[in-house]
Amino acid sequence: MTTMPLIVGHRGAADLAPENTLKAFRRGLEAGADMLECDVHLSADGKDVIIHDATLDRTAQEDSPLRTGAVAELTRAELDQVLVGEGEHIPTMTEVLDLAAALPHDPSRHAPVLVEIKAVEAAPRVAELLRERYDASVMEGLSAPARVISFQAEALRIVHRLAPSVPLGHLCRELTDQALEEAAEVGAATLAVRASLLREGDVERIRRAGIIPLVWALREEEHIRLAADLQVSWVGADDPARTRRVVADQLGL
């Protein structure tokens, strides 16, 4: 039976609002995302920072009080001054998790959040926040309110050591034997491949390893349709509503 994959709002909804902002996460939910994805770095004073890049240079808006600099060299108080588009500030992980805890159209439901660790140094902070926020009993299965993903296997190892109940997911650009081995070694429940590098057979290889296949960077319609044809379980989307429409059309749903 053909089913619709779960739609993950990539950086909230990066095509609909400034990426990794509360506005983007709200827009992602309003556009029908089943889950949200965010990126986390660590500030100079050890606080979590929801931003993709290691510097402010790309995302800070022109009239921001602070426009450049390395995230790891700035305090959270300094980063709170940064404007990253449409007057939005850089959120904390807690703010994102709070927003996802009750869907705007159905407060009784939540949207699981995929927390991508960009810098290994952020792993202990992420593990601490999730361990303190969630009881281990709610972290099982697809409905777990949060899970940690990363390209860096070491970050996943750290989280597993400090917060063993938190579900993990491995990221890779192109599926390789090493990526599959690392995913299995850290106990990853999901393995994500970049859409433009997805090859026929990759999804089945991931499934045979007992891992859920996920595809990210689905911007081009041809990539969305390919992911649908290959029956990927989860897809990362910068515009969740558009992605859902294209997938539904491709699958005849």
The domain limits of the chain are: 6-40+111-251
Query: Sign of the C-alpha dihedral, residues 19, 25, 28, 30?
Result: negative
* Res 107: pLDDT: 66
Name the amino acid, one letter, at 33: A
Q: What is the average per-residue pLDDT within 90-112?
A: 86
Instruction: Tell me the C-alpha distance between 68 and 46, whole Å.
Output: 19
* Res 249: pLDDT: 97
Instruction: Dump pLDDT digits (tens) for 116-128.
Output: 999 999 999 999 9
* Res 104: pLDDT: 63
Q: What is the average per-residue pLDDT within 236-250?
A: 97
Asked if pLDDT for residue 47 goes beyond 90, the answer is: yes
Long-range pairs for 181-189 at CB < 8 Å and ≥24 separation?
A: 182/153, 183/209, 183/211, 184/209, 184/211, 185/153, 186/153, 186/156, 186/157, 186/160, 187/160, 188/156, 189/147
Asked if pLDDT for residue 206 goes beyond 80, the answer is: yes
Q: What pTM does this model have?
A: 0.96
Q: What is the average per-residue pLDDT within 34-40?
A: 97
Which superfamily does CATH assign the domain made up of 6-40+111-251 to? Phosphatidylinositol (PI) phosphodiesterase (3.20.20.190)
Contact between 29 and 12 under an 8 Å Cβ cutoff? The reply is no
